[in-house]
């Protein structure tokens, strides 16, 4: 006999109360200690960046900051690895287009 348990239950985690971050103008729930990428995934968001060439959608891939697929603009700073950043209350995340420097003539 098996019972369905969540990873938090298996680890014995007791996270504090949820809060929200802002993703492209809408609230996304997040737990204390959760990365931005994990909060987005948990809310069903799978892509938050588009590639420079072809505009292909990207999101978390490696989850440890090596691949850079999870880049997004966080609190106005482009090219932030969302798998490494905590989802702090009030964090603003926006989908990043290309290299994240649309304001520069690059």
* Residue 106, in any domain of the structure: no
- Model confidence pLDDT, tens digit, residues 50-59: 888 888 888 9
CB atoms within 10 A of CB 60: 22
Residue 82 belongs to domain with CATH number: 3.10.20.440
Count of structural domains, the chain: 1
3-class SS of residue 35: strand
* Residue 36, in any domain of the structure: yes
Nearest in space to 50 (alpha carbons), one of 73, 76, 77: 73
- The parent domain of residue 39 ranges over 17-97
Give mean pLDDT, residues 73-90: 95
Q: What is the DSSP letter of 95?
A: P
* Residue 8, in any domain of the structure: no
Residue 93: exposure state from Cβ atoms within 10 A (0-12, 13-18, ≥19): buried
* Residue 12, in any domain of the structure: no
Rounded CA-CA distance 58/42 in Å is: 16
Percent of the chain with pLDDT over 90: 53
């Amino acid at each position: 006999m098996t019972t369905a348990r969540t990873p938090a239950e298996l680890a014995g985690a007791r996270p504090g109360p949820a809060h929200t971050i802002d993703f492209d103008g809408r609230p996304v729930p997040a737990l204390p200690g959760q990365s931005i990428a994990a909060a987005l995934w948990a809310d069903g968001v799978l892509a938050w960046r588009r590639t420079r060439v072809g505009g292909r959608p990207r999101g978390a891939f490696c989850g440890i900051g090596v691949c850079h697929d999870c880049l997004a603009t966080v609190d106005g700073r482009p090219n932030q690895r969302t798998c490494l950043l905590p989802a702090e209350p009030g964090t603003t995340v926006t989908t990043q287009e290309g290299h994240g420097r649309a304001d520069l003539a690059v």
